[in-house]
Amino acid sequence: MTREYVLRCVLMLCFALLSANASNWLYLAKLSSVGSIRDEETCERLRGLIQRQVQICKRSVEVMDAVRRGAQLAIDECQYQFRNRRWNCSTLESMPVFGKVVTQGTREAAFVYAISAASVAFAVTRACSSGELEKCGCDHNVHGVSPEGFQWSGCSDNIAYGVAFSQSFVDVRERGKGQSSSRALMNLHNNEAGRKAILSHMRVECKCHGVSGSCEVKTCWKAMPPFRKVGNIIKEKFDGATEVEQRKVGSAKVLMPRNTQFKPHTDEDLVYLEPSPDFCDYDPRTPGMLGTVGRQCNRTSKAIDGCELMCCGRGFQTQEVEVVDRCSCKFHWCCYVKCKQCRRTVEVHTCR
Ligand SMILES: *[C@@H]1O[C@H](CO)[C@@H](O)[C@H](O)[C@H]1NC(C)=O
Ligand SMILES: *[C@@H]1O[C@H](CO)[C@@H](O)[C@H](O)[C@H]1NC(C)=O
């Protein structure tokens, strides 16, 4: 081995480690108090940011609270979308928040990157529309009368600002020296796919004005889809994600489907480089790999939430659990509702 070769390997390893931590900014979600990022000094102390993100933080301190909310939104949505899967998106109190699961180029990592990039774009755009930020407000490029005859007005969501902020803040970790590593290309692609899930599903919302709700005058504005919808779209992309590998086309390095029979992925699809582990067993050497012992499962389902697949064939235990519901509610004039408490037992199945 030549010295140069050794040096290059060391550099590549170094990049692999940096790249592996590319989602560390999600650690911002662990900051508890709102308005906790107030001045440039705070930016220096935030854990999980790389130097260039610290610089962006200093330049845009007022936006950082929206970024923090975005990180929380990403984690909550991931846990909702994966609640019935073996890996349920549980977080650690350390970095990276999803443990080792996202440091490999798997489908799960693809989802996490896409939902995170989308959540920052979403939260920043929301902050713009709500008038919370000086740097941005509503989108005033949308105005006048539409071809359909309604009046554009109100506050159109300034998605362009949110997307641009997400591109600079979230993607910065993948840019620079190691830009052409396959993992960096995978992350950049999935970040962009996540933001597209908002951009391609912008909607028009309207309000009618006129005598007793007649629609003589209609004013409309452009609005983002609810974040749950964005999560659903990205989850669908997760289910249909394409396994890719890096190829050289001319002098450029690009990601192409590993199976050449498959049609190439689009900008909105998710891509991954490595097959996922089975997530069946707890592994103390792999942070975040909790296994499925103790997870609830559905006895009758044949899908991944069913006891057969969820418990990886280990079997399950059944317990009778008493649940208390409100029932026989009566409305009393005026104005309260009185309910009885009903008890019923349900069977709960958990994996051995
Ligand atoms: C995920 O599953 C583990 C058990 O494997 C459980 O302890 C944890 O509370 C679950 N997390 C969420 C977010 O549902
Ligand atoms: C269990 O799975 C069945 C079949 O998929 C479904 O109809 C049922 O609602 C599920 N039960 C629970 C408690 O989720």
> Which pLDDT tens digits describe the chain residue by residue (352 residues)?
344 444 443 444 434 444 446 678 888 887 755 456 778 888 888 888 889 999 999 999 999 999 999 999 999 999 999 999 999 999 888 788 888 888 899 999 999 999 999 999 999 999 999 999 998 998 888 788 888 878 887 789 999 999 999 999 999 988 865 567 899 999 999 999 999 999 999 999 988 888 877 888 888 899 999 999 999 999 999 999 999 999 998 988 999 999 988 888 999 999 999 999 999 999 998 889 999 999 999 999 999 999 999 999 999 999 999 999 999 999 988 889 999 999 999 999 999 9
Q: Which residues line ligand 2 (CB under 6 A)?
A: 298, 300-301
pTM of the model: 0.87
Closest by alpha carbon to 106, among 278, 336, 275, 319?
275
Give the number of whichever ligand sits closest to the CA of residue 101.
1
User: From the CA of 101, how far away is ligand 1's center (Å)?
Assistant: 14
Atom of ligand 2 nearest to the CA of 302: 5
CATH number of 292-352: 3.30.2460.20
**What count of residues does the chain have?**
352
Q: Which residues line ligand 1 (CB under 6 A)?
A: 79, 88, 90, 290, 292, 294-295
Domain boundaries, the chain: 3-136+157-195+227-281, 292-352
Burial (CB < 10 A; 0-12, 13-18, 19+), residue 348, is middle
Q: How far apart are CA 220 and CA 156, in angstroms?
A: 8
User: From the CA of 302, how far away is ligand 2's center (Å)?
Assistant: 10
Give the number of whichever ligand sits closest to the CA of residue 297.
2
Would you say 38 and 44 are in contact if contact means Cβ atoms under 8 Å apart? no
Burial (CB < 10 A; 0-12, 13-18, 19+), residue 131, is exposed
Q: Whose CA is nearest to atom 3 of ligand 2?
A: 301
Task: Find how far residue 9's CA is from the centre of its chain.
Answer: 32
Atom of ligand 1 nearest to the CA of 83: 14
User: From the CA of 301, how far away is ligand 2's center (Å)?
Assistant: 6
Closest by alpha carbon to 235, among 126, 118, 103, 122?
118
What pLDDT shows up at residue 83?
97
User: From the CA of 281, how far away is ligand 2's center (Å)?
Assistant: 24
Q: Whose CA is nearest to atom 6 of ligand 2?
A: 301
Q: Whose CA is nearest to atom 14 of ligand 2?
A: 298
Q: Whose CA is nearest to atom 2 of ligand 2?
A: 301
Q: Whose CA is nearest to atom 4 of ligand 2?
A: 301
Q: Whose CA is nearest to atom 12 of ligand 1?
A: 90
Closest by alpha carbon to 222, among 136, 307, 157, 138?
157
Q: How far apart are CA 149 and CA 179, in angstroms?
A: 47
Give the number of whichever ligand sits closest to the CA of residue 305.
2
Instruction: Out of 298, 309, 321, 350, give the residue to mutate to test ligand 2, the one with the largest number of ligand atoms within 8 Å of its CB.
Output: 298
What pLDDT shows up at residue 208?
85
Instruction: Out of 85, 88, 112, give the residue to mutate to test ligand 1, the one with the largest number of ligand atoms within 8 Å of its CB.
Output: 88
